Chains A and B, each alone.
Chain A
Amino acid sequence: DTAVSQTPKYLVTQMGNDKSIKCEQNLGHDTMYWYKQDSKKFLKIMFSYNNKELIINETVPNRFSPKSPDKAHLNLHINSLELGDSAVYFCASSQDRGGGIQYFGAGTRLSVL
């Protein structure tokens, strides 16, 4: 049973489209995260939710909207996709918001053409 699962694994789409990436964790954790890994493999936090409440929002364009229907799910919706959005997006979770060990999903490789 995968602890943190993301879908889809690969996403190829045209500029201007809207797409969503889903993330689910079955670890019973309270806190979930979205990270972006750029072409130089540098990881950066985008959002974090703790028990459905947004706690970190790192100056990400408004085209990116996270949604957490419950504490086990954190989805990422992206409107009007741009070439620069091409990256690998990782979901992660941790027991709580106190900076403990994080468990990562396998990543979603987004390619915007």
Chain B
Amino acid sequence: KNEVEQSPQNLTAQEGEFITINCSYSVGISALHWLQQHPGGGIVSLFMLSSGKKKHGRLIATINIQEKHSSLHITASHPRDSAVYICAFTGGSNYKLTFGKGTLLTVNP
């Protein structure tokens, strides 16, 4: 069993819809990361958080340390949000990143 589980694996939405992607992890972590991989392949870090909530534009990330759960929300989704969203955590003495399998989001116009 992967230490990071994301759901759903695939998500199709209509433009304007509110999107939620969930991430659960099974070990103690130092920080939770959300990354975006564009269709062209590039990877961009969206958020790093260890508690509470962070917001950047239409993206919001939350984490519940007690429940070992994080969510990524996208408000007013747009076709350009179509990408793979990857949850990952840093933990252990070497702070290595351990990745989930990603959620493929497709936003249709």
Contacts and interface: CB of A to CB of B under 8 A. Distances in A.
Given A90-B43, A99-B31, A100-B48, A42 B94 contact: no
A101 B91 CA distance: 13
Contact of B48 (A55, A92, A101): A101
Interface residues of B, number: 23
A107 B39 CA distance: 13
Nearest to B94: A56
Residue in A98, A102, A106, A109 whose Cβ sees the most chain B Cβ within 10 Å: A102
- Grouping DSSP codes into helix (H, G, I), strand (E, B) and loop, the A interface class, with mixed when no group exceeds half, is strand
A65 B23 CA distance: 33
A104 B43 contact: yes
Nearest to B101: A42
Interface string A26-69: 00000001000000111111001000000110100000000000
A102 B45 contact: yes
Contacts of B41: 88, 106-107, 109
B28 to A, nearest CB: 13
A40 B2 CA distance: 14
